[in-house]
Amino acid sequence: MAVARERCCARVYNQVMTRSIYLDNNATTQPLPEVVEAMTRVLRDDYANPSSVHRFGQAVRHRVETARAQLAALIGAKPAEIVLTSSGTESINLAIRGALPARANRRHVVTTQVEHSAVLSLADSLEREGYSVDRVGVDARGLVDVDAWRASITEETALVSLQHANNETGVMQDVVLLASIAAERGAIVHVDAVQSVGKTAVRVTDWPVQLVSISGHKFHGPKGAGALYVRRRTRLHPLIVGGRQERSLRAGTENVAGIVGLGVAADAARMELDRSKGTADANRARLRDEFEDSVIQTVPFARVHGADAPRIWNTSNIGFEGLAAEGILILLSDAGVSASSGAACSSGSLEPSHVLQAMAVDERFAHGAIRFSLSQLTTREELHEVVALLPDLLARLTALRAN
């Protein structure tokens, strides 16, 4: 597996590209020009420590607080409910590890089989530490089995963690329904909304949840800047102790440039969502659907995973029967198209993704599954180009397999 990954990466790295079509936006997005500009200004000019009492420090503090307010406005929260972190992963760790001590008499955690590894690895660690963990399955559409979810949450359940939009398929869970079931039994609810916040409207006040994880680099902000929404009166323990930053919930001098970039990206996303009043999702989903229809028409042995469930507009997971995703990715990359197979970190792996396995996707399709993830910058022309490349590219792989 490691060898396959090395070979794959070396090949990709050495390639001189003439075309560049980026369809790996669930791995990360291109920062907006205004994000880069704001961050550059912070690095160059606004370098004071926001904890310093002098005017310069307080001016930088103001920039941090502006960013917090911008992010809060994006999700309908209050600025005081936002804890700034270094990533979605840290936010998830802070949410789950930070909230469990408040339910010390309960030692049971419930999550789902289709979570990102940030949640699943943490669930494994908790199990080793003596918690019991249930990972509820999904149906063939990718939606959490509501009966199994209900049955697994008991008066012993301290916390549940569920995803909003899946990073591999884009399938969106019914957060209100699943969270309400957990809330009835007094469990704390954490939502991993890393793949939805900034792309589609998320109002945390519409959700009966205490904790929501966010990551800036998934919506045209910088890497290294994330946040945790913590509903008022939710008790949380810090993971990192030291200074009093983030009201002692996350010690360490702030990554001001990253935070400012996150704020600018949040502001841009909010303005875009406000401007389009919900129509942007439908328009963009249309582009994705057109792409999928064209792929299916061009490649009869292709199948879209998660197509029968509500999905976020930007994600298209397509299985090519009988082919290996690694080969498809390499040829796409050679042609200047950046896509992914499942989660970025499992690219190069020969194992089908845990998400597709949980959906009981036929192995012949799961092994050849490619995730094309779009952004607001993706054009119809780019998608046409990708579709046009496929017949030749797949024929080459089919011929290789036959030899």
CB of 161 to ligand PLP, least distance (A): 10
Query: What residues from 93 to 132 belong to the interface with ligand PLP (CB under 6 A)?
Result: 116, 118
> Alpha-carbon distance 305 to 244, whole Å?
46
Residues near ligand PLP (CB under 6 A), total: 12
Give the one residue of 194, 230, 295, 339 binding ligand PLP; rule: CB under 6 A.
Answer: 194
> Alpha-carbon distance 273 to 42, whole Å?
27
Question: With binding defined as CB under 6 A, does residue 89 bind ligand PLP?
Answer: yes
* Residue number with CB closer to ligand PLP (226 or 263): 226
Q: Are 89 and 225 in contact (CB under 8 A)?
A: no
Question: With binding defined as CB under 6 A, does residue 373 bind ligand PLP?
Answer: no
3 state SS of 112 = strand
Of the residues 43, 177, 282, 345, only one is catalytic, namely 345
3 state SS of 150 = helix
3 state SS of 12 = helix
Question: With binding defined as CB under 6 A, does residue 352 bind ligand PLP?
Answer: no
Stretch of 7-15, 55-63, 189-197, 296-304 lying at the interface with ligand PLP (CB under 6 A) = 189-197
Cβ neighbours for 189, distance < 8 A, ≥ 6 positions apart: 159, 160, 162, 179, 182, 183, 207, 208, 209, 210, 211
* Residue number with CB closer to ligand PLP (152 or 346): 346
Question: With binding defined as CB under 6 A, does residue 85 bind ligand PLP?
Answer: no
Question: With binding defined as CB under 6 A, does residue 24 bind ligand PLP?
Answer: no
Question: With binding defined as CB under 6 A, does residue 88 bind ligand PLP?
Answer: yes
Stretch of 100-108, 136-144, 188-196, 229-237 lying at the interface with ligand PLP (CB under 6 A) = 188-196
* Residue number with CB closer to ligand PLP (187 or 355): 355
Give the one residue of 29, 87, 157, 173 binding ligand PLP; rule: CB under 6 A.
Answer: 87
Q: Does the annotation count 345 as an active-site position?
A: yes
Calculate the dihedral angle through the C-alpha atoms of 75, 80, 86, 90, rounding to the nearest 10 degrees.
-80
> Alpha-carbon distance 133 to 231, whole Å?
24
Site string for ligand PLP, 148-187 (x = CB under 6 A): ---------------x---x--------------------
CB of 216 to ligand PLP, least distance (A): 8
* Residue number with CB closer to ligand PLP (346 or 394): 346
Which of these, 319, 329, 323, lies nearest to 357 by C-alpha position? 319
* Residue number with CB closer to ligand PLP (106 or 164): 164
> Alpha-carbon distance 380 to 244, whole Å?
48
Q: Are 202 and 224 in contact (CB under 8 A)?
A: no
In the chain, the amino acid numbered 312 is I
Residue whose structure tokens are 């190069």: 348
* Residue number with CB closer to ligand PLP (342 or 352): 342
Would the CA dihedral through 321, 325, 330, 336 be positive or negative? Answer: positive
Cβ neighbours for 11, distance < 8 A, ≥ 6 positions apart: 330, 333, 334
Catalytic residues: 345
- Applying CB under 6 A, the residues found at the interface with ligand PLP are 87-89, 116, 118, 163, 167, 192, 194-195, 215, 226
